[in-house]
Amino acid sequence: MDPSTGIHIPGPRLLLRPLRPEEIDAEWQAMVDADPMAIPELPDEGEFRARLARSGEMRDGWLDLGITLEDRLLGRIQTFVPPNQDLPPGTYWMGIGLREAVRGQGHGREALAVFTDWLFEHAGAEIVEAPTDPENRPMRAVFEHVGWREIETFTDFERPWVMYRATRARWLAARG
């Protein structure tokens, strides 16, 4: 997909935009180097690269966008469908990953908030959920700061996860 087309979501400082072809190698390397706390298992490289080539296009519940500041790629945010599960209509699962050097600067909070807004306002979302490792205190703080709620713990990929959720009614009421 041409990165000048596709979904672009502006925030106060950040722009969520389609990845450029020349950025896909770095995104694959970020997956390879990811802390095991962040991802349950490494995806198939070919499928991952093909998915990122469609960045900026919502397809079957999947949407990948780069998180940028002044056109510098800081990481990636996505919706996805968990393996071996069907999500109810209007339900999206989300993931986010920032480069280590830019963490702790509010970029994750902003990206999560503007992406959540967009999903409720433009993608017909009723529920947006995201799993995280119970020990990932910074991510849990981001969810709580922007108004998501912890709803459950569960085991998948032979490890524990904490699920956070934002619902359309609560999100829009909080946004006034």
What is the DSSP code (8-state) at residue 122? H
Which of 26, 110, 44, 119 has the alpha carbon at shortest distance from 78?
A: 119
Residue ranges per domain, the chain? 9-175
State pTM to two decimals. Answer: 0.92
Residue whose tokens read 């790629």: 73
C-alpha 174/C-alpha 122 separation (Å) is: 18
Q: What are the pLDDT digits (tens) for 72-95?
A: 999 999 999 988 888 999 999 999
Q: Tell me, which fold does domain 9-175 have in CATH?
A: Aminopeptidase (3.40.630)
Per-residue model confidence as pLDDT tens digits over 114-146 = 999 999 999 999 999 999 999 999 999 999 999
The pLDDT value given to residue 124: 96
